[in-house]
Amino acid sequence: MNSEISNWGDYSNRFLAIVTFFGVFAAIYAGWYARKIYIIEHDRDVDKDREDSESQARLISGWAEISRDSMAPNANIGLVARIQNLSKQPVYDVSFFWYLDGRNVHQNEANLIPPEQPYVWEIPTGVFSGSNILQGNRTGVTLPEALEIIKRTRLSITFLDSNNKKWNRDQHGILKEII
């Protein structure tokens, strides 16, 4: 009975057993490595999809600026919000919020901003009458007042991109998808 337990067969059977063992080990290792490659490629695809979906939204920005009728010293000075769409696609349902010292003082909306074009909104100076910048009820602002308003304001933009995803660029310029 001892001789049957210790008898592994001839040399060819022993060789086949060893080769089969290493073959199974190699197959397990190949499966593990293939799974590792699949995970890497999947993560790369997810990153690319996220990057593609953000590509249009990253090209939408807005800021406040001063507008003048002319360069003459007594020219009318106004305040405008400029929304820039540098993408190749239009954006829809645009809401624009003007913040002065962190307080929302004005809001406007547009159905569409065409591609590769700026969209300009004139901001009524009356919205700043409650601040300590403008004194009295006036329709215009002086250049120093306009510069002070521009320095203390921030814009926030909410829009729908061409992939029907809603985005917000907040007062600090941070872009976030709205889910």
pLDDT in tens, 29-72: 999 999 999 999 999 988 877 777 788 899 999 888 888 765 66
Place of tokens 């941070």: 174
Taking 3-state DSSP, the helix, strand and coil percentages for the chain, each rounded to the nearest 5, stand at 35, 35, 30
Q: Quick one: what percent of the chain has pLDDT higher than 70?
A: 81
Predicted pLDDT at 148: 83
Residue 114 has pLDDT above 70, yes or no: yes
Q: Output the average pLDDT for the chain.
A: 82
